[in-house]
Structure 1
Amino acid sequence: MRLQLLIFLVLSFSAAAVAQVPGADQTDVYLPLLKGKKVGMVVNQTSVIGERLSVDSLHALGVNIKMVFGPEHGFRGNASNGAEVGDEKDPATGIPIISLYGQKRQPTPKEMAALDVLIFDIADVGCRFYTNINTLAEVMDACAKANKELIIFDRPNPNGFVDGPILDMENKSGIGKFPIPITHGMTIGEFAQMVNGEGWLPNKTKCKIKVIKVKDYRHDMYYTMPVSPSPNLNTQQSVILYPSLCLFEGTIVSQGRGTYMPFTVLGAPALKGIFDFTFKPVSIPGKSETPLHQNETCYGIDLRQYDEKALHAAGKVNIRWIMDMYKAYPYKDKFFDRSQSAQIGDINKLAGVKAFKQQIIAGASEEEIRKSWEPGLSRYKQMRKKYVLYP
């Protein structure tokens, strides 16, 4: 009995001692690749080495960083969702910062000609409708056209499971460009390999990539993001709830934008008398300037105490919340009605298929809805195996 207890304690200590080491932290692996080269970096506030921005760290190490490219939310991560971001100069280093979420979505041929290599170092949350993978593909396209290498500092995916309907390409948009499920179950490095392998770049060109892998990482690990990935994903719980709650952006129900607890609460004014929990969205610069139901009291549910680790372990997008909220909403014809507010997104583009909305309206069971995702979901899982770098 004592021996079994000792073995258990040793194994538990060993498991706790193993920590994922992101690609960016492995300077000994990639610094030789950057020596004597003119470097560009695609980064945001999640691009850190330890607790310091990777741009600052590599600049201090003598890497010749010629320019920095910032995605949605900007280089420092303080721009609202969907807001255009302008060019600027980094006050800390003097390096030009060029926006990829303003007038353009990828580096220009002139910018690429001034570089020898480009680095992509942005943490992702593993969802089709999170725009970092779109930025990745645009950068890969620019590198392919310029015949330049893209070095990817890989990072863990906090939602590393595969679930949801495969995007029907007739619903292709800025929040869904690839035929993948809601949660694709890949790191940025793995997804880059899939983009190349499946011919998703224009004219099926391929980008020369080198992935600096994460050490000691598995897809089923619960990973806590050290830096908030965007202004409205400001807690670990919001990151884990995001794949399920972002579907509500296609409804009249607020997910808490305009509060300091976004993507952890759900509610709408019309749910008064049905739910007791309340919150009031207001304009918050840098987070949500004109949120849905601004200055109105919303009634709904508080998910801040929800066991996000259990949700992660389940490995599924929770569609019960949207099913139940539709049943509770008193004005069914307005639930998905985009004409009710400019803030309501297109549920078909978020879900990726038109059937999902119709299934919710028709009262289909969760089992029936999930069954309709096949055989596409199983085919995707099989295809994904060709590109994974981690167990």
Structure 2
Amino acid sequence: MSESEYQIEIGGEADGGDRVPDLTPREAFERWMGRLRASKATSTVTSYHYQLKLFVEWCEEEGIATIGELTGWDIESYETERRNEGVELLSLNKEFRTLRLFLEYCARVELVDDDLPEKVDPPDVPRDAHVDETRLEHGRARMLLDYYDEHDYGSREHALLALAWYVGARLGGIRGLDLDDYDSDDAYLQFIHRPSEKTPLKNGRDGERAVGLPRHVCDTLDAYIAEHREEKYDDYGRRPLFTTLNGRMSQNSVRARMYLATQPCLHMECPHGNEREGCDYVDYTHGSKCPSSRSPHQVRTGSITWQLNRGVPIEVVAERVNTSVRVLKRHYDQPTKREELEERRREYVDRLGFGESGGEE
């Protein structure tokens, strides 16, 4: 085979004379996605993909043949079109932050001008728009767990809800737990990053940690394991903590079970005037349609707020739930004004007296 057969023709040249390819927007996009898959969680890559694919399609519709043709006017035109489509500011902000990251990569490898990423100006969003205020309130969590303690102790739904509430873990973290990751005697769980076996943690190895459990939560898990857990293995020969007849629970299965586990009609009359018997929402496939059921993320949000309101230091909560203090404050620390008064300020209010310790004599 001659030397010429190994040569690949590449079009375009950078200012310094180095040859760079004339990639289409889609080709540049797919190349960036490929790089991200090597270092980012699957959920992050998927999110970036959906936030950028409309931009790539728009470029193709506008006849932008190469990524190097992009201008600041193109970016402004695309934003105007997205605004006219009625896209919410928060979604638009996320899309254009991702677009800027993509163009920063393109500039770094000399596919676009160095200053093009600076021309992406994500719209400002009010701080409270970043927060999902729909969360499982601690009062409802307590009533639900009381119901399970009395009527369905150790069931799969009971164990899932108890673990999600008292830890504040993400759906993927709970799903990826193995039986051997739980130590009942020492009352703790280990979260381990296992991407090659389809149970990655969102933050990779940085998400690995041991989390202590209250004794009564261990009792719930022990009852679930002894009486309700299916003795199954996954495709890698591991013994999942949470199982179905087919092996490890899927993410959709964990999500669906959490919706069912948090329906208020388990412990009270339906707030929507329905009868539990005959209600479509109690079916596995329709549980998410109940207006008062909660997703795993909403249980996590409520748990984190509750842990903070109970006086657990924010640094400790951040470590338990595997997030930064900054992110925790912005997205999860959502006390109501009354909760702030009752939970966080009560110790100081109690000092407002004339006794030696601050209280009344």
Q: With structure 1 as the length reference, what TM-score do the two structures score?
A: 0.27
Q: Which protein has the bigger helix share?
A: 2
Larger Cα-atom Rg: 2
Q: Which protein has the bigger strand share?
A: 1
